[in-house]
Amino acid sequence: MICCVAGMHRSGTSLVARWLAESGLPMAKAGSIEPDISNPHGYYEDLDFVRLHARHIRRKRTTTAGWKLRPRKFQLFSPEERVCARQLVAERTACYPDWGWKDPRTTLFLPAWRAIIPELKAILIWRPCAEVVTSLLTRGLKQRRRHLLIDPVSAVRLWRAYNGLICTYQARFPDETLVIASAQLPGTSQAICNRLITDFGFPLIPVSMEHLFVSDLLHPAPRWIQRFCWMLGCDAVEERLQTISVGQL
Second-level CATH architecture of 2-246: 3-Layer(aba) Sandwich (3.40)
pLDDT digits (tens, 9 = 90+) for 5-32: 999 999 999 999 999 999 999 997 755 5
Residue 181: strand pairing partners: 126
- The pLDDT tens digits along the chain (249 residues) read 999 999 999 999 999 999 999 999 999 775 556 655 556 566 688 999 999 999 999 999 999 999 999 999 999 999 999 999 999 999 999 999 999 999 999 999 999 999 999 999 999 999 999 999 999 998 876 666 778 889 999 999 999 999 999 999 999 999 999 999 998 888 888 888 889 999 999 999 888 887 777 655 567 888 889 888 988 889 999 999 999 998 776
**Contacts with 237 (C-beta within 8 Å, 6 or more apart), sequence order:** 129, 160, 163, 164, 167
* 155-193 as b/e: b if 16+ CB within 10 A: bbbbbbbbbbbbbebbeeeeebbbbbbbebbbebbeebb
- Please state, in angstroms and rounded to a whole number, the distance separating the CA atoms of residues 55 and 66: 7
Residues present in the chain in total? 249
Ranges of each domain in the chain: 2-246
- Please state, in angstroms and rounded to a whole number, the distance separating the CA atoms of residues 181 and 193: 15
pLDDT digits (tens, 9 = 90+) for 45-55: 899 999 999 99
pTM exceeds 0.75: yes
What are residue 126's phi and psi, to 5 degrees?
-130, 155
